A and B are shown apart, each in its own frame.
Chain A
Amino acid sequence: MTNDAKTSFEEKKLKNELLDYFEKGKAFTQELMLENERLRLRVLGLERQYDDLQSRQSSERVRVLEEENAKLRGRLEELESRFGEVEKENQDFAKRYVEVQSQNDNLLNLYVSSYQLHATLDPEEVVTVIHEIMLNLIGAERFKVLMIDDRKMRLTMVAGEDENGPIRGHGKAELDPEVETVLREGGAIFRDEENPDRRYLACVPLRVKREVVGAITISKLMDQKKHGLTTIDHELLDLMADHAAAALVSSDVFSRTERKLRTVENFLELLQMDSGRDGAGGRL
């Protein structure tokens, strides 16, 4: 073999080897690209799976939270409803407490009034107590206590208060239509929204059992009672009037009996003196 042929053969061999390398490199590159594509797809798949999983987990968590939230909302509504009930109960109790306290005060007023009225048999003291009740418990600034005087067949004022202060004595009182109605029918009448033109704020009969023996009239209240008499005041006045009537009548009966007793005693003394004188005269 010549040198040229030898060189040509070696070049060809080298060329084939290089070509073979390139072919192998190409195959490897293609294989690498395929693997890369496969791995990319795998990553995408895993990413999708991860997203799905995360989404499923989130929605599950949301569902649990929503359930919990609904339960709590229900509990809150229940508690709010209970709170409302308790608050209403509380308001009812507070209202009831005020009512009970008011009733308690009225019972106390009534108890003290009746106690004071029946603690004496002196007519003057009874009148004083009625006066005090009208001023201190009812808050009347101008009022009259009127009694029917059976003996004189007239209406007598036994106590009262006018612009000049207390009225005492047993003066004749005028019989106006309102007083006449109360004395005749035996029921109290009050000035109210339905009857704003009445002369008296209150005209209450003084009754012993069912017999009317007089009346109390109120024509003006003190400044602190400027809102007028309440329903409770009406009831209290009506009940106290009955006690006042009983006290006035019983003290009057007692004082008359006392006077009669003294008259009888004096008469008996005179009789004894007369009989003594007669006896002495006889002996003389």
Chain B
Amino acid sequence: MTGRVLVVDDSELIHNMYRLMLKKYRDLEIVSAMNGKEALEKLETMDGVDLILLDINMPVMNGVQFMKTLKEGKRHSNVPVIIVSTEGKEDDTRRGLDLGAKGYIVKPFKSGSLHETIDKIIGLSNN
């Protein structure tokens, strides 16, 4: 299965990690944005996206603001979002899911947990 994933994170290190972790996995194409604002701009110019991997703590526009703007819009409001954050408390996870995220991964994460969550989410959205 091929697909396009939009990675929104202010760390170039994390973008490189995603590229390596997802390179041979499901033939996923990675599109990078360094903050929420850049991600929204990229979404407007893209044909479509299958999944968004979103950090919370980012400059310019953080993950929470991005989620609210995404859900308010119509075009991409149904795109599944997985929050990937260093905020690992139960409250953080619940808040993230309350925002409309389909999954929550805590950093530091292993490739196995990332693949598993993506499988689950993409599987759900395909159904």
Contacts from A to B (Cβ < 8 Å):
101-102, 104-105, 108-109, 111-113, 115-116, 129, 132-133, 135-139, 222-225
Contact A129 B13 (CB under 8 A): yes
Interface contact B88-A222, CB-CB below 8 Å: yes
Classify chain B's interface size. Answer: 10 to 19
Rounded to whole angstroms, the CA-CA distance of A148 and B80 in the bound complex is 48
Nearest residue, chain B, Cβ from A97: B112
Contact A101 B13 (CB under 8 A): no
Minimum CB–CB distance from A95 to chain B (whole Å) comes to: 14
B11 → chain A closest CB, angstroms: 5
B17 in contact (CB, < 8 A): yes
Would A108 and B108 count as touching, CB distance under 8 A? Answer: no
A-B interface pairs (CB < 8 A), number: 53
Tell me if A108 and B20 are in contact (CB < 8 A).
Answer: yes
**Chain A proximity of B52: nearest CB distance (Å):** 18
Whole-angstrom distance from the CB of A193 to the nearest CB of chain B? 23
Q: Which residues of A contact B86 (CB under 8 A)?
A: 135-136, 139, 222
Q: A112-B16, A112-B20, A223-B89 are in contact. Are A137 and B111 (CB under 8 A)?
A: no
Q: How far is the CA of A59 from the CA of B60 in the complex (A)?
A: 92
Contact of B108 among A102, A136, A223 (CB under 8 A): A136
Contact in complex: B110, A102 (CB < 8 Å): yes
Q: Give the complex CA separation of A227 and B67 in angstroms.
A: 31
Contacts A129-B13, A223-B89; is A108 near B107 (CB within 8 Å)? no
Complex interface residues of chain B between 103 and 125 (CB less than 8 A to chain A): 106-108, 110-112
Query: In the complex the two chains form, what is the Cα distance from A104 to B86 in whole Å?
Result: 21
Once A113-B13, A133-B13 are accepted as A-B contacts, the answer to whether A139 and B108 lie under 8 Å apart by CB is yes
- Mask, B1-42, CB within 8 Å of A = 1, is 000000000011110110011000000000000000000000
**In the complex, what distance in Å separates the CA atom of A47 from the CA atom of B106?**
87
20 of the cross-chain contacts (CB-CB < 8 Å) are A101-B110, A101-B111, A101-B112, A105-B110, A108-B21, A108-B111, A112-B17, A115-B16, A116-B13, A116-B16, A132-B13, A133-B13, A136-B13, A136-B108, A138-B108, A139-B86, A139-B107, A139-B108, A224-B88, A224-B108
User: How far apart are the CA atoms of A139 and B108 in the complex, in Å?
Assistant: 6
Contacts of A102 in B (CB 8 A): 110
Chain A residues closer than 8 Å to B106, beta-carbon distance: 222, 224
Name 19 extra pairs, CB < 8 A, besides A101-B112, A104-B111. A105-B110, A105-B111, A108-B17, A108-B20, A108-B21, A109-B17, A112-B13, A112-B16, A112-B20, A113-B13, A132-B11, A135-B86, A136-B11, A136-B86, A136-B107, A138-B108, A223-B88, A224-B107, A224-B108
